[in-house]
Amino acid sequence: MKITDLRCEYMKGLVVTDRKAPLFSWVIESDKKDVVQTAYRIIVSENIEELDGKKGNICPKSFVASDKSTGVQYEGKALKPFTKYYWRVEVRCNNDEAAVSEIASFLTGRLDVRFPAKWISRQEKQGKKKNAGAKSPYLFKRFTVEKEIKEAFLFATAKGVYDAQINGMKLSHVVLAPGWTDFGKTFYYQGYEITDLLKTGENAMGVSLGDGWYFGNLSAVGRNQYGVYPRMFAAVMVIKYTDGTTEKISTDSSWKIGEGPIRYADLQTGEFYDANYELLNFGTVEFDESGFAPVTVKLIKEELTAQRGELIAVQGEIIPVSHNLIKGKYVFDMGQNMVGRIRLKVKGTPGKKIKIRYGEMLNTDKTLYTSNLRSCEATDYYVCKTDGYETWEATFTVHGFRYVEISGINYIPSLDAVIGVVIHNDLERTGSFECNDGLVNKLYKNAYWGQKGNFLAVPTDCPQRDERLGWTGDSQIFCQSGCYNMYSEAFYEKYINDIMDEQRENGAFTDIAPYIHWPNGNPLVGYGNAAWGDAGVIMPWLMYKNYGNLRILKECYPNIVKYIDLLETTTEDDIRTPICYGDWLCVGNPIPFPVIDTLYMIYVTDLAVKIARLLENDSDAARFEGYAARYRKAFLKHFVKNDGEIEGDTQTGYVLAIRFNIANGDKELCDKFVNKLIKAMEAANYHLTTGFVGVKELLPVLCEVGRADIAYKLLNNRTYPSWLYSVVNGATTIWERWNSFTLEEGFADIAMNSFNHYSLGSVTEWLYGYVGGMREFEPGWSKFIIAPEIASLEYANVSFKSPKGVIESCWKRVGNGYEIKITIPANSRATVMLPATENAKITELLLANGIDFEYKNGRMVAELGSGSYLFKVRETV
Ligand code: BGC
């Protein structure tokens, strides 16, 4: 038995936190079956040598009898600020096994003390180019370390974004910190271990600043959302010496400031880099700062908090698949619609300007298609300084692209003259899916690439055009898929904080978070909309379910109550008063707004009942139950005919009514909805007509009502509208619209046509939950079902590293039955429900003892503890 995957605040690595009682999680790995944790003991110490727990441990010394292994709250002595703590956990299990984990660590931030530094900057003008800022400031500090270093840390942040190096070495693979929050409400600083970057003697630190989200273009509202220049930097270096003393080196008036090669940089506009301004030896002690000026110093008035969620970082590289000379420009095809930037190797002459443009698609004449980027320029410039080869990568911009167009070179470049540098928040991948249908595999990959590209500071709708916003609807729709694909708790928890930050006075959650405004102060978009604002209830609930995080429910609870009460006061005759967006981008007849809005209101009110009960707030729970009962009644009265027809007669209407249990246990009514849904499927010739909202629930509901055959039919469709339509038309990510591009009609309306929009990729959730069958999980996956739908595929291998460990469901058809390998992680149990007839015979191949399966509604059902199992299911005729 092994204890692995230690996480603090649901993150791996050296996490910095200002939480006084951070949450710990771990995974138990064991070859044995039926393993359950019976007790744990957490050991925390400042000194790694003391992790045997005998001395120095600042946690209770006794074991806690519990099977909890995710989100376990720290309960030791008060933590000290700016301190690295080591921790491990000892676990005892039911089979008399015990194990001690590997060692992990976390770093406390300022906790209750003031951030011991000042903002440094200097007066700056906006810059000449309308859509871009001005020359990046470069900051420099030289300092001497007199004693022997034990360990050292840097805590830093910026107004804008920063890139820092110590003695010429980068802090880490992190880029674009501090990312994006509503800076007036939450402002994060980051923590880094820099022990290996420092040396006793002379040291130097160099920092450059870009505009980022603070000053740069946001969506279409323009620049300076949070203020005007100057860009500022604040940091404190905490150096602990072997003699037990500590020294702090902070940003103050001793720093120097100047300019360098980045002439402007904007997330949307792009970066202008002139290599002739490069600073020789910048960030090292050899740097000559005589041309630099003293900085201006300002007090930090913002309440800085330690970063939540993993940072944005470089995640990989891609080599183009081809390049072509088109009208005098080289167009490189990365073979994958990706998000990040490029590393360029070019040869020019001193002062030669190379222009680099980015696009997701090509025009028919093979030139770069950029109309769908709208006002976003997505253009970088590199100015050469020699006549030899030079290599460059942007620092403060990101683009969403598959194609890169280079102009300004007069030789045939090699294919690797352009390398794609993939950038997104640094989350662990947790899922994989593979089946015998290559197109379905491609669809799965496309959705995964959509997640990579749109996990950038916040979950965005799209990464390329002048939008790139944290749309709450898109986020909640993809959230479960996101949690299967990657360990997303901390990233979403940070985003949920963004949503809570933006809650309006009246209680409404906003349609985007962070919320942004036009220069005249008007908000860009609205709030309180069905399926969008509702994310403020849905997403905390999903974090509780997926990761067992009860704290997030407690923290969001007052906001949730306010929202649910707001919905109630704004209904008319218990019907939700609609604003927008309905079943966004659906095909054909749209579901009427009041119908979809009321359906979602019932859903989130039901969730609020569950949350209130969990938090033992029975009077709220009873009040919300009352609301939900009234809404259901009103829904039936206003929108449902006797034969079960729901106003609008749409697939989405029936799907949501079934999913959200509008019939409230009335089997007859539910059957009517099911019949109507099947008719609606037939009427559409077994094609979907759903938009963002309906699509998420479509295939799950079809399976739940026993029509997996139709679900697979929809999955396998290649004609418009279908998922595979985009795949057969060459998509490498999920498109915004079912018809973003068609062979017959070309590109859809350029006003809104992204080729990397993950919402319609919510089918990912179904691939794990129904093809693999792993779903219906209790908080933190402590219990779940495995109920695969074995239909038109020959085989499927589905694996998901849950917070409890790896779950597998790998099946293949064999003869008149199938074989299935199932893995249930330690400290978890599953109800396995294998599709079968009553006559089916089940042989368990790996286990000596037989397992008793019971036949229930077309499935052989057994309760299983942890372990790996191989079953062969065949008919006994
Ligand atoms: C975004 C969407 C978003 C929608 C709201 C669009 O511009 O790209 O993904 O949810 O607006 O309806």
Catalytic residue among 467, 493, 765, 808: 467
635-667 tens-digit pLDDT:
999 999 999 999 999 999 999 999 999 999 999
Amino acid at the residue 26? W
| 89-138 residue pLDDT tens | 999 999 899 999 999 999 999 999 999 999 999 999 988 888 999 999 99
Rounded Cα–Cα distance for residues 680 and 683 (Å): 5
Nearest CA to ligand 1 atom 7: 752
| 815/840 Cα distance (integer angstroms) | 13
What is the four-CA torsion angle of 511, 517, 523, 527, rounded to 10 degrees? 20
Torsion of CA 154, 160, 161, 167, to 10 degrees: -50
- Cα 733 to ligand 1 centroid, rounded to whole Å: 17
Pocket of ligand 1 (CB under 6 A): 461-462, 467, 471, 473-474, 581, 584, 752
Confirm whether 271 is a catalytic residue: no
Signed CA dihedral, 436, 437, 438, 441: sign only: negative
Confidence of residue 792 (pLDDT cuts 50, 70, 90): confident
467 is catalytic: yes
- pLDDT above 60: residue 848: no
What's the pLDDT band for 849 if we cut at 50, 70, 90? low
Task: Tally the residues of the chain.
Answer: 877
Cβ distance 737 to 748 under 8 Å? yes
Residue 877 has pLDDT above 60, yes or no: no
Residue 471 alpha carbon to ligand 1 centre in Å: 7
Could you tell me the sign of the dihedral formed by the alpha carbons of 390, 396, 401, 407, in that order? negative
Q: Which of 584, 737, 754 to mutate to test the pocket of ligand 1 (most atoms within 8 A of CB)?
A: 584
What atom of ligand 1 comes closest to residue 752's alpha carbon? 7
Per-residue pLDDT tens digits for 211-243: 999 999 999 999 999 999 999 999 999 999 999
Nearest CA to ligand 1 atom 12: 581
CA–centroid distance, residue 371 to ligand 1 (Å) = 18
Relative to the CA of 511, which ligand 1 atom is closest?
Answer: 5
**End-to-end distance of the chain based on CA atoms, in angstroms?**
42
Q: Ligand 1 atom 1: the closest Cα is on which residue? A: 461
487-541 confidence digits (pLDDT tens): 999 999 999 999 999 999 999 999 999 999 999 999 999 999 999 999 999 999 9
Q: Which residues contact 505 (CB under 8 A, 6 or more apart)?
A: none
Specify the residue with its C-alpha closest to ligand 1, atom 2: 461
User: Residue 351 Cα, ligand 1 centroid: separation in angstroms?
Assistant: 42
From CA 576, how far away is CA 532, in angstroms rounded? 14
Ligand 1 mean position, distance from CA 473 (Å): 8
- The residue nearest atom 5 of ligand 1, judged by CA position, is 581
Instruction: State if pTM tops 0.95.
Output: yes
Give Cβ neighbours of residue 597 (< 8 Å, ≥ 6 apart): 529, 530, 575, 576, 577, 578
